[in-house]
Structure 1
């Protein structure tokens, strides 16, 4: 299946499809727009119209005029000086997502790079020959794309078929020649927000899966702890206006329908602890943030984020040398998503603590098969608490970090790419926390003193876990079980629930899933075919 970049910009789901390995193709109209923008750059050069990064230096050197003879050297040198990333390299999906977002940006037709350069990025994606991109060292953008662009000119390093090699060797094995950059291309290769936008698309997908799992696992814990279903009553939840809250409430009713355990617990308490009765409120709030973030990411993908932007006609070329490469909105969105996911995970750890605490659970202490000689999930809860604390540190807003660079020329920094990297880290930590809760909830079912039935949906989840992991008896390192549970959650969504709108009691109050209702995001689930992905 191929993703086609045509007149319509890619959306976040399509970026994720390319990140997962789908080919990306340029439609003829996209090539025409790229070529037309290049012709404008050539007119700007011919008419000696001053344009930032085309015939001037960059950053604090923006007033230094660069002659036509020096413009190739300027583009080449920009790559070399901006390739300053440090630390471990990004994963394959992260690198592919950034490359797809960059191609999408150039296809708007306002960057002024040659079609050959964009096709080079497409060729690297098609061959799955991926530049090595250090994760750290960005205050907003620049360094990640610089390392990607190095391979286009035969420098840097790449990975192909499991082998690390020089950029020159990578091009040679693909039968490609190193590109010789022309005016503006060096700047356009490092500029804009493709780095944060590609990473943000992945964050959306992974957060979407995580929130679906959080609902499912919370239902298991709620059932084990004998919660009161009044917390999910549609009439009660309708007093608070929130699409996410309504959605989660309907999902919880669907997940727990037919539970004998909850029927036996009916009326046991006036109200449950907050970690149980605020599931719709906290998970729903996170879904509302997810929906808002999806809108921001799709707007970013629909925007030209280059500096300068070229427009106008061949007779009257225009140059806009302003701040469209700065990703303030997406930085704020990533910070918000990180905080929302961290809160969901923090509450999951609280439910986990209730499952292992015999003072409140009604279950054997720490879910151990034999008290005293076995510790069960006692220390697994420590791990979850540590990850919650790490999330708290990671969720501090990157967009407020500030700083000054380039000799006071760039004296406000939004830290958009670091915000996306932090959001991905929080989502990964949170997937581990929810994975531990999943294991504990399955263990709690094994130790339930009541001979009552589970809900059909939670029964299916329990069966899924037990198909790959037996009951825990302190007979193996628990970390291995936790890793398996993490991958179960991080690699896709849980078994689908019946559509909440199928339940008569919720028909009048049913609200579509926030992420699925975003314009341009499509109506499919994360595991369905994505909009814009057509048969190859």
Structure 2
């Protein structure tokens, strides 16, 4: 079954589901809203009501009137002139996410495109025929959507079943005709914030899964480093008001329950180092940021972000040509999420350093075989330190970059899409850091000197790693193991925790702003490892239904 855009906007989890490969459909209500908005544009054209990008130029040319006979040319030329992206193209998931968010925006019924335009995008998406979209060169959103729209008119390039083909060839293979764009359609296709909202939804899905893994990998390191379980005492953590902190504390208690290793060292230290005893505080803070970011992204998906917006009735059409396409709030949210994930990853590297340092670990130096011929995880920690430094550079706020474009007409820029792109990069870097910690923690179990059992959950995690990679003995390139561990973290959910009901629900925010628990969305259940996601999330008549297998 498909993700259906009906009378309720998509939320971030649904956009992420489409990004992961689910099909997208427009309900009859959504199609009616799109068609009704088109009637408004036709009335604006017929009556000669001045409307930005409909019968005027764009940017600094907003006061140049465009005649009815030139409006098709204007729409086509907007795509041609705005398709200025550079660099490597977006991945398939990123492209699908942007396309899903664009269709969601049109379905609000205030853009003024024809149904044929929305249907063309949906057809490309559901055939997994994805436009080639260069990742860089945007201060906001324009170039990415322009490259997507090119394929709709038979221009640009697309990938179909791994083959790079022209936009015209892509349409031919799908039995589609190139569109001839009418008034406003060129501007509608490149305008608004779907680019950043799509990428932001993907960032949320990846960050949520990463945080679930990071909690579990941290529990392995904590056990190997013989931490004091008092750090996760429920009554103590409850004194600090943070849903994320208390959630992480519960997850750590569940993951480390019945640990013989930790039982053997109770009371041996008054305090553990901060990278161990502040796991709930740092991971929890990141989860609180994740919740706040989800709220912003859902609000953005529920908002009309075109410029101009068409409204009113065919008898009295209205045009709002102001600034709803500016993505200040989502740019700030992406910067915040990026910083939060960078901090979590930085602390993971500190735990990794403790695992490989014999001065504090109580384990063989660098988790290597005895003797001076083996380096073990010595240099893998260098890699993690390098990625932490890269994240620190990337975490500088894109939303403050500023700049001036279009002959002083656009003299304040929020850089929302670049903020989302660097958040995605930070999340990937963080996943690689946590993957190295995961390997080191598994190696530490192999070398533990305490003759006591692991916690059942951490033992299951260790076994899962060992099914993928054996104990490391400097007998193969460690980079291959690191890559395998990263793919595990990026592509799979961690094993479900025992007694998840005792941990408490994860706070999230639905598209209408109401607080919901984690089980309300399939993506959260799957990311938490509590269920295996089936093929769809459907939204019909304003009600979300998660299909779970």
Tell me the equivalent position of 1:88: 88
- Which secondary structure does the structure 2 equivalent of 1:340 belong to? helix
Unpaired stretches in structure 1, ≥5 consecutive residues: 503-509
Kindly indicate whether the alpha-carbon contact (under 8 Å) linking 2:12 and 2:297 is maintained by their aligned counterparts in 1.
Answer: yes
> Whole-Å Cα distance in 1 between the matches of residues 23 and 332 of structure 2?
31
Cα distance, 1:514 vs. partner? 2.6
- Which secondary structure does the structure 2 equivalent of 1:104 belong to? helix
Cα distance, 1:162 vs. partner? 1.0
Matches within 5 A, 1:379-458: 379-458=379-458
Kindly indicate whether the alpha-carbon contact (under 8 Å) linking 1:57 and 1:64 is maintained by their aligned counterparts in 2.
Answer: yes
Kindly indicate whether the alpha-carbon contact (under 8 Å) linking 2:508 and 2:515 is maintained by their aligned counterparts in 1.
Answer: no
1:136-158 Cα distance to aligned partner (Å, 9 max, x none): 00101100000000000000000
Cα distance, 1:526 vs. partner? 4.5
Matches within 5 A, 1:436-515: 436-502=436-502, 511-515=504-508
Tell me the equivalent position of 1:506: none
Kindly indicate whether the alpha-carbon contact (under 8 Å) linking 1:243 and 1:512 is maintained by their aligned counterparts in 2.
Answer: no
> Whole-Å Cα distance in 2 between the matches of residues 313 and 410 of structure 1?
31
> Whole-Å Cα distance in 1 between the matches of residues 264 and 173 of structure 2?
67
Tell me the equivalent position of 1:36: 36
Kindly indicate whether the alpha-carbon contact (under 8 Å) linking 2:457 and 2:498 is maintained by their aligned counterparts in 1.
Answer: no
Matches within 5 A, 1:15-414: 15-414=15-414
1:421-472 Cα distance to aligned partner (Å, 9 max, x none): 0000000000000000000000000000111100000000000001111100
> Whole-Å Cα distance in 1 between the matches of residues 174 and 217 of structure 2?
46
Tell me the equivalent position of 2:538: 532
> Whole-Å Cα distance in 2 between the matches of residues 59 and 399 of structure 1?
21
1:139-187 Cα distance to aligned partner (Å, 9 max, x none): 0110000000000000000000111011011111111111000000000
Cα distance, 1:500 vs. partner? 4.6
Cα distance, 1:499 vs. partner? 4.4
- Which secondary structure does the structure 1 equivalent of 2:293 belong to? helix
Instruction: Tell me the matched-pair count.
Output: 528
Residues 499 and 185 from structure 1, CA distance in 2 versus in 1: closer, same or farther, beyond 3 angstroms?
farther
Tell me the equivalent position of 2:529: none
Cα distance, 1:371 vs. partner? 2.9
Cα distance, 1:492 vs. partner? 2.8
- Which secondary structure does the structure 1 equivalent of 2:264 belong to? helix
> Whole-Å Cα distance in 2 between the matches of residues 17 and 222 of structure 1?
33
The two structures have a TM-score, normalised by structure 2, of 0.94
> Whole-Å Cα distance in 2 between the matches of residues 176 and 370 of structure 1?
65
1:41-62 Cα distance to aligned partner (Å, 9 max, x none): 0001111100000000000000
Kindly indicate whether the alpha-carbon contact (under 8 Å) linking 1:53 and 1:184 is maintained by their aligned counterparts in 2.
Answer: yes
Tell me the equivalent position of 1:14: 14
> Whole-Å Cα distance in 1 between the matches of residues 381 and 225 of structure 2?
17
> Whole-Å Cα distance in 2 between the matches of residues 160 and 531 of structure 1?
25
**Range with greater deviation from structure 2 (373-382 or 523-532):** 523-532
> Whole-Å Cα distance in 2 between the matches of residues 496 and 424 of structure 1?
25
> Whole-Å Cα distance in 2 between the matches of residues 27 and 327 of structure 1?
27
